Structure 1
Amino acid sequence: MLVGREHELKVVEEFVLRAASDGDALVLYGEAGVGKTVLLDAAEEAAAASGVPVIRTVGVEVETDLAYAALYRLLTPFLSQLDGLSGQQRRTLATALGLDEGAPPDRLAVSNAALSLLGLARGDGPLLVIVDDLPWLDRMSAAVLAFVARRLVGARIGFLGAFRTGESSFFDGGGLAAVEVMPLGQTAAASLIDRRYPALAPRVRQQVLAEAAGNPLALLELPSRAADRSHERQTAPALPLSQRLEHLFAARVDPLPAETRRALLLAALDATGDLGILVAAFGASAIDDLAPAERAQLIRVNGERRRLAFRHPLMRSAVIAMSTDQQRRDLHAAIAAQMPDQPDRRAWHLAEAAEVPDESIAVLLEQTADRILRRGDAVGALSALLRAADLTPAGRDRGRRLARAAYIGAEVTGDIGSVPRLLADAQHADPGGADALAAAVAAAAYLLNGEGDVNAAHRMLFGAIATREVLDGEDDGLIEALWFLIAICVFGGRAELWPPLDGLMGRFRPAPPRYLTVLAKAFGDPAHQALPVLDELDDLIGGLSQEPDPAYVARVAIAGAYVDRQRACRGPVQAVVDHGREGGAVTSQIQTEVILANDDFFAGQWDEALELCDEGIRLCELHGYPLLRWLYVHQDAVIAAARGRTERARAAAEAMTRWAAPRGVGLLLAYGHGIEALLSLGRGKYQEAFVRASSITPPGKLQPYAPYALWTALDLVEAAVRAGLRTEAARHVAALRDMDIPAISPRLSLVTAGAAGMVSPDGRFADHFEAALAVAGAERWPFDRARIQLSYGQRLRHGRAMAEARRHLTEAFDTFQRLDATPWSALAGKELRAAGGSRGKLQAGGIAALTPQQREIAMLAAAGLTNKQIAEHLFLSPRTVSTHLYQIYPKLGVTTRAGLRDALSNEEPTTE
């Protein structure tokens, strides 16, 4: 009988009914021992009473590196129904679960297939899925089940999960209903003790109540050890509650017969709950050996389903913790012997059983790493590869595996800090004989992503590739090396780095993968080489939705960055970012999240871009990627420059230049000039802006291998025009046209036509401006479009076409206001007033100057909420709230929160 859980029981029972009639998901969270598992049991009982079938599993620590292990256990009862899925879904799910061989399955496709199988399995009735200890699911299973849980409404399937407070989980937030299971109140806690231990001495009872702090499991376990605890408390340090409970569980296991403890340990290490493995290892009598543990209420045994479950996850931990190394090795070997048809599980159990290096096991683990990598789980693959290296005798194979692990750590999983150690270990394992190319790729990745030493990385990697007599276009190691060499050349930003690369690419037989050729041209030199490969690039992007490899998605998306394909790549890139957030390929997330930020910038979603930049900078600092960090700093600083945040933008540009100059990172030097150019434009320092923009590429010329010049073309022309350098501006527009830059993308068509309008003489400018504004989808690039409209309105006003001028200036002003591009809105407002318009007259002192979101934030801040509370209420980050308040104060004419309430009482804006 549950005590003090009336509310939680009602919530769970109502959830079961709701899920059975329509479909729903719910997660429970709370401290260890607070009663989450008991509530899951209650839900299972309620479902059984209503005739709702239940499938149940639990996350276990020993399986976290086995891709889709938990999903396999959960879906095992329904695998016979796989043939009821469509052919593609059946193949996808079978491949993910290791039942078939095939191409790496896309995780989204696996998720949809799992959802379809559950729908098929429930037939005409409902189904309840229960998963305990969510954070201990393997990453791939967790991602799939989180996807499924969020898509159950209307499916008559329920998902009920639980996790401990303080443990990260893919299931907290993101639209899933969550209920915190709190400790019992004092009255309920006392009632629970009195029901279970009515004869407990008052002193002991008081001690238990104090130490348990309302935790039900502690209330039930502590009394039996209270005397010992009162003695220990004089000398032993206080332990966290979960550790104390684990110790208490260990004390309950210790008196059990040796055969029972052995059976429990095998079950804990196996984690599948399959009694068949226990019987196969120890004989039929093993079931009887479990009886003492079942009577002690440490486990549950379901004879019909031949399944075993521990009563609490801490029990499993306690059983393992109190065993010896030799006992665990022996039982891992026994489990492996029962898994001939599960190669990945078998390999891991053999590895855990090994006492000395064993090449045969290392081979199996490396094969497991390859399979896991093909399923899209780079983190699990790295774990398997490192364990394989540990089990490899010293020599070439050990060196090769360590070098490969170093590369995966640098390029995929975000473990760049481990690269030097792994490479040193590889060299030590096989002096002079470790795979030179693999080591060079890992070292170059470390030099480029870490210290940003372009020249050293270029020399090292070019030399390692060039010494190969045969450049096999199907050699994965060579392909990875070639990708890194392209990246080095792009970051170097110097034309002389490219001819050696071109020579190598010409030596490949067959040719290297087409995506790398497209990448080199479209990303490395878009102004001169992108046009011939754009159709191929668009085809590659079109296929990304079915691509499971985050690294491949990242590279194709990067190829489209300077030719304005960010929006076309957004869906697959978002999947890569989500994969990284869920514990997957962090490096790919870092490489691609900046593409989302770029897209948000061009689309006018600047606050969203800043949030992505915050996350990217944090990840780069956490995982040790100082070079990639500057990509996010650049985007953040560009927005600061556009908004007139002079100190922030200038500090970023100067810091970037100081870091990049001694390392030869020419691309970042160009970024620094671009930030300064935009900042100077907004401040009216047009000559200075022209000098900065011309440092990226001179007027009238688009430098080869200077991709950033396409992003700053409008800056250069506008700065030249406003500085009175019309000849230079006209030369640059002519260069854009001569090189057919408008054909690269609609945005560049908008920019080129708008720039042509800026330099055209009176009487001809309108046609160019109108052509710019007529570009299909021009509104998708609001900042560029508004700048063009501002210039157009100025030219119209000077020509005395006041009505037409006011129309364009009004639209420009409104856009700049929405973006909070203060310098530009000030200029547009001034021009609008000069043209006889009424917009732009708003002064601080009224809510009409605020955007709807700013108004809501201001109201909440005036009500006394903190930035964090406002962020939680509006599903924003605290940084975004702080940024909005920074913008709100001057608009309302206040400097503190205290002035917000009075300012917000003004219903109408004041005007001049």
Structure 2
Amino acid sequence: MQRRALLGRETERRALAALVEQAAAGSGGAVVVLGAPGIGKSALVAEAAARAACSGTRVITAVGVESEEDVPCAGLHQLVHQLRDGIDDLPGPQRAALRAAVGLVDEAVPDLYLVGLAALTLLSDAAVKAPLLVVVEDAHWMDRASLDVLGFVARRIESDPLVLVVVTRGTDERLGGAGLAVLHLDPLTDEVSGELLDAVAPGLGQQVRRRLLEEAAGNPLALTELPVALQSVGGAYALTPGPLPLTERLERTFTARVSRLPADTRAVLLLAALNGDGTMDECLAAAARMLGTAVDAAALGPAVGAGLVEAWGMTFRHPLVRSAMHHAATAAERQAAHAALACVLQGQPDRQAWHRAAATAGPDEQAARDLDSTAGRALRRGGAAAALAALRRAAELTADPSARADRLLRAAELALASGRSDVVADLLAQAGSLDLSVRDQGRAAWVGIVRSEWAQGEGTAAAELAELAVEIAAGEPLLGLRMLWGAILPCYYGEPGPAAWQRVVTAADRMPVDAENPFLVALRAYCAPVERGRAVMESLVRQLERSSEDAEADPLLGGAAVTMGAPALAMRLTARPLDALRAQGQLSMLARALCIQAGSAARLGDVRAGSLAAEEAAELARETGQPLVHAMVHAIRAQLAAVCGDLRADVWAAEAERAALPGGVRPVLAIVQTARGHAALCQGRYGDAFGHLHRVFDPADPAFHPWLRFYAVAELAEAAVRSESAPVARDILEELTPLGKLTASPALLCGLRLARALLSPPDTAESLYRAALDAVPVDWPFERARVHLALGEWLRRHRRPAESRVVLQAAREVFEALGASAWAERARQELRAAGASSPRQDPAAVDQLTSTELHVAQLAAQGLTNREIGERLYVSPRTVSTHLQRMFPKLGVTARGELAAVLRGTMTYAEDVV
């Protein structure tokens, strides 16, 4: 029968066979087998699994069950149970996270990504012993947490003898976003359909045969089941006239067989359909409760005879049988079945709560409380989607308006954290129809504004939320700070107008929170980096002295330091939590911290550190579903590429711009224009450079940003001088000079000093250049080299070549050390014009490495093992080994012990400052 079902699938069979053979040869991969119900997905994968097992590949399976979609990590538990002997060998944090996620211990899961790393390590370790094939059936019914983990694993098994095959009816963003290959099963051709039909139902009359082929439409299950229905029930459901969908038609064929079964058999089948992968004992006990009489395993006999379940137990022959059972029952029968299951599932509170809720038609506070508790347990196990579903259903069962509002808003907050914007809107609309308390009004407003973070900030709404945040913070400081951030965020991304900004700043000043609270310090920097600049800068510096106990605070403080124009300080602040964020599996926050690291490094001219952080941030932002961070990273990549003369600068700038323009995300657009200006300046296209940079200073332009423009003041002045636009630059300088007296922003103060020198007449220029050089902070070598270059150019143009060569040489050496090749080439050209030989240096061997390879090399040089490196970078140990093998020839080494000597002197700025 299996061979018949696979007629016409030669191409697909070869593709799966090749993937399995790939694992046997030492490398892995993943594929999604996609197709309609009954199209032959399971038969195809079953054949591949059988062949794999015969060749020595270990096969483990998990099956998604519709009734367990909201049980967190239910699918993962099936896989882990088959590999449980390897759990104790996992690193401690991974072992604890995995055991908590699958319910082996009652502890909170630190982060689902740590669970993903644990699953990856568990599977990778098992694959070292024997090639491993992991089959996930009916993934469309698998719980979200398990699919998130599987997607995480699928992206990281290229170097492991491990294959993941996911069988599903429809695409899913959790798997589609993983970039997996898709094997799409199309209907069988007419010729193959006829061959299969003749094999399963020989001797049909031509008219009936033709009608069956037409109805089956190339679906193998239909071709095998419709003839059975024709024989067993006279074809009443198989050949019903009218445009009935094929899936429903097949369900009716199964339903027709069910209707002829004894009552106890029907009851057991319905309970099995509603009970997921529950045990036979549970279903028999529930059936006895429903029918009021004893029911034993013999009740399944007629179902086996009717071809509805397998002979070896309570396993449906096809998922459509389960659907047929569900749809064949009346609402009252389903409620009775759920109630019976709730009674027999003692000791399983989550499953019990869902069945009790399904048995309830109207409001029921006890059922709502049970689901509320289920949501709490789901969150502890990392199941945000399951918790969201439980809270939504709990709200439906809640009669009290206040309790209903609370559950709806908690659900909205979870949906917001999960990136499910459409769900957030629906929940807020439901909550908005209730009479909300002041506190709940604030919660709803905060969720609504953060949901719209891509949109231009609506000034009045943001200001009102900020003022409400002050009121709420008196009783709930954390909620008040979150609401204040919700007010500042859209203003920072957009342009709310001065009146709204002033109200937000005043609200921040009035917050009844300790002035040194790190979150309040950061928020004041975001909303008033000039007006409160000196005090905020002093507070940011003091934050370095406190113990870094909160990994969430430092990235926010780092972003605040960037806004203040202090990139070196931002590097220090965001470097501190990186290890903790990795250890805790907080990859969403890690992506944001690395984005800030990359942007700070770009402004410091440290190409190597910036590229390292940007590459990892981009991957994590994509994986964790943060489009804003991803767009920002692309803009930063454009900036880094401009500094080092990489031609990809235009590509990355265009990608960032496409993402940011629809929502008017000004910080991204400002960085894009700054990057384009840098690139044009280094290429000698001064008119283009001025055009790009001037947009960042023009309040009418979407790329204008009141604070990020501080980083481009000197470049604007230089481009203006060289493109006969100096008057415009002088006007901008006059506007910015009063701001420099209010703030301690290193970016603004350095930019103003160098801009004055560039725009000054010859008799005062040299002293201004020298003053600009003296004022550069010691932790900003790129800016010092930038001033050296400008001074050297001025000296050469004023016929002082010997003096110019000294400062130009200093500039070139710093630019080259930082990897700022475009600026180094400018210095080199000036040196040649000044009469000095300045040949291009061959690129260092380390510059041949990808950012990931460099990261692996640095960690290996520090003495970390492959497993320890894998823990840091969230990849398998075998992937680390592959990276090392690829980089050794590039570096000219043969062993990891030689890496420290090769990498000496190439450690990044980020490592130097911590």
TM-score, with length taken from structure 2:
0.70
Name the structure 2 match of 1:260. Answer: 265
1:562–1:707 Cα contact (<8 Å) kept: no
Q: What residue number does 2:283 align with?
A: 278
CA distance in 2, matches of 1:656, 1:191: 72
How far apart are 1:107 and its partner, in Å? 3.9
Which whole-Å CA distance do the structure 1 matches of 2:379 and 2:764 have between them? Answer: 56
1:573 correspondence with 2:617: yes
Q: Give the distance between the partners of 1:562 and 1:23, measured in 2 at CA.
A: 35
CA distance in 2, matches of 1:22, 1:467: 58
Confirm or deny: 8 A CA contact 2:795 2:803 kept in the other structure: yes
Distance 1:634 1:176 in 2: 34
Change (3 A) 1:396 1:591: farther
Measure the CA separation in 2 of the matches of 1:505 and 1:531: 30
d(CA) in 1 for partners of 2:380, 2:688: 47
User: Cα gap change, 1:144/1:514 in structure 2, threshold over 3 Å: closer, same or farther?
Assistant: closer
Change (3 A) 1:521 1:157: closer
Aligned to 1:297: 307
Alignment of 1:432-451 (within 5 A): 432=437, 435-445=440-450, 449-451=454-456
Match for residue 602 of structure 1?
640
Instruction: Name the residue aligned to 1:461.
Output: 466
2:168 is matched with 163
Amino acid at match of 1:405: A
* Contact 2:285–2:295 (CA under 8 A) maintained in structure 1: no
Question: Hey, what does 2:508 align to over in structure 1?
Answer: 501
Contact 1:452 1:627 (C-alpha < 8 Å) held by counterparts: no
Query: Structure 2 CA distance, aligned partners of 1:616 and 1:547?
Result: 33
2:213 alignment counterpart: 209
Give 1:363's aligned residue. 369
Q: How far apart, in 1, do the equivalents of 2:345 and 2:223 lie? A: 40
Distance 1:702 1:279, change over 3 A: farther
Superposed counterparts of 1:866-877, under 5 Å = none
1:758-797 matches, cutoff 5 A: 758=793, 762=800, 763-775=802-814, 778=817, 780-781=819-820, 785-787=821-823, 789-790=825-826, 792-793=827-828, 795-796=830-831
Q: 1:789 to 1:96 in 2, by over 3 A?
A: same
Bigger Cα displacement from structure 2, 253-262 vs 202-211: 253-262
Judge conservation of contact 1:67–1:372 (CA < 8 Å) in 2: yes
Aligned equivalents of 1:349, 1:728: Cα separation in 2: 80
Corresponding letter in the other structure for 2:726 = Q
The answer to whether the 8 Å contact 2:100/2:106 transfers is yes
Partner of 1:237: 243
1:72 matches 2:108: no
Aligned to 1:862: none
Q: What corresponds to 1:393 in structure 2?
A: 399
Q: Deviations over 1:339-373 (max 9, x none)?
A: 45544444433333332233333334334434444
- SS of residue matched to 1:310: coil
> Whole-Å Cα distance in 2 between the matches of residues 312 and 615 of structure 1?
46
Which stretch shows the higher mean deviation, 369-378 or 216-225? 369-378
1:154-194 residue CA offsets vs partner (Å, 9 max, x unmatched): 86655433234x52365569686664444434433222111
Among 469, 487, 490, the alignment partner of 2:489 is 487
> Any conservation in 1 of the 2:356–2:367 contact (CA below 8 Å)?
yes
Asked if 1:543 corresponds to 2:580, the answer is yes
Change (3 A) 1:743 1:341: farther
Structure 2 residue aligned with 1:846: none
Q: In percent, how many aligned pairs have the same letter? A: 29
User: Which residue among 38, 44, 49 is the counterpart of 1:39?
Assistant: 44
Is structure 2 residue 392 aligned with structure 1 residue 402?
no
Q: CA deviation at 1:37?
A: 0.7
Q: Distance between the aligned counterparts of 2:763 and 2:227, measured in 1?
A: 88
- 17-26 or 365-374: bigger deviation: 17-26
Gaps of at least 5 residues in structure 2 are: 289-293, 520-548, 602-608, 848-914
Once residues 341 and 606 of structure 1 are traced to their aligned partners in structure 2, the CA distance between those partners, rounded to angstroms, is 62
> 2:65, 2:277 within 8 Å by CA — same for their partners in 1?
no
Aligned mates of 1:396, 1:733 — CA distance in 2: 67
**1:334-733 counterparts in 2 under 5 A?**
334-410=340-416, 412-416=417-421, 422-423=427-428, 425-432=430-437, 435-445=440-450, 449-454=454-459, 456-466=461-471, 468-470=473-475, 472=477, 475=478, 477-484=479-486, 487=489, 490-491=492-493, 497-498=504-505, 500-501=507-508, 504=511, 506-507=513-514, 518=554, 522-526=558-562, 527=564, 535-549=572-586, 552-553=589-590, 556-557=593-594, 560=597, 562-564=599-601, 567=611, 569-570=613-614, 573-574=617-618, 576-580=620-624, 586=625, 588-599=626-637, 601-603=639-641, 607=648, 610=651, 614=655, 626-628=663-665, 630-634=666-670, 642=679, 666-667=705-706, 670=709, 684=723, 686-687=725-726, 690=729, 694=733, 697-698=736-737, 701=740, 704=743, 713=751, 721=758
SS at match of 2:511: helix
| One-letter amino acid matched to 1:595 | V
TM-superposed CA distance for 1:571, in Å, is: 6.8
Question: Alignment partner of 2:218: what SS?
Answer: coil
Give secondary structure in 2 for the equivalent of 1:279. helix
Partner of 1:129: 134
User: d(CA) in 2 for partners of 1:678 and 1:139?
Assistant: 53
Q: Secondary structure at the match of 2:33?
A: strand
Distance 1:658 1:517 in 2: 34
| Preserved contact between residue 558 and residue 570 of structure 2 (Cα < 8 Å) | yes
Q: 2:143 aligns with which of 138, 145, 150?
A: 138
- 2:482 alignment partner AA: E
2:696 and 2:705 in contact (8 A); partners too:
no
The answer for the alignment partner of 1:190 in structure 2 is 194
Give the stretch that moved more between structures: 199-208 or 692-701: 692-701
Query: Which of 291, 298, 311 matches 1:288?
Result: 298
AA in 2 matched with 1:743: D
Could you give the per-residue CA deviations for residues 22-66 of structure 1, whole angstroms, max 9, x where no partner exists?
A: 574553634322211112232344456567654322223444443
Q: Return the offset for 1:739.
A: 5.8
Confirm whether residue 269 of structure 1 aligns to residue 271 of structure 2: no
Structure 1 pair 280/101, CA: closer, same or farther in 2 (3 Å)?
A: same
Does the CA-based 8 Å contact 2:385-2:418 persist in structure 1? yes
Cα 1:539–1:14 change in 2 (3 A) is closer
- The offset of 1:197, in angstroms, is 1.1
Report the CA distance shift for 1:379/1:161 in structure 2 as closer, same or farther (over 3 A): closer
Residues 685-731 of structure 1: per-residue CA shift (max 9 Å, x gap): 64377369749944994874989869x959x9589848979968985
Q: Please say which of residues 792-801 and 12-21 is displaced more in the overlay.
A: 12-21
For normalisation by structure 1, the TM-score amounts to 0.71
2:633 partner letter = I
User: Structure 1 residues 24, 314: closer, same or farther in 2, change over 3 A?
Assistant: farther
Q: Which residue matches 1:799?
A: 834
Unaligned ranges ≥5, structure 1: 581-585, 816-912
Distance across 2 between alignment mates of 1:182 and 1:422: 38
CA distance in 2, matches of 1:607, 1:171: 29
Kindly indicate whether the alpha-carbon contact (under 8 Å) linking 1:57 and 1:130 is maintained by their aligned counterparts in 2: yes
Matching residue's letter, 1:206: R
Amino acid at match of 2:315: A
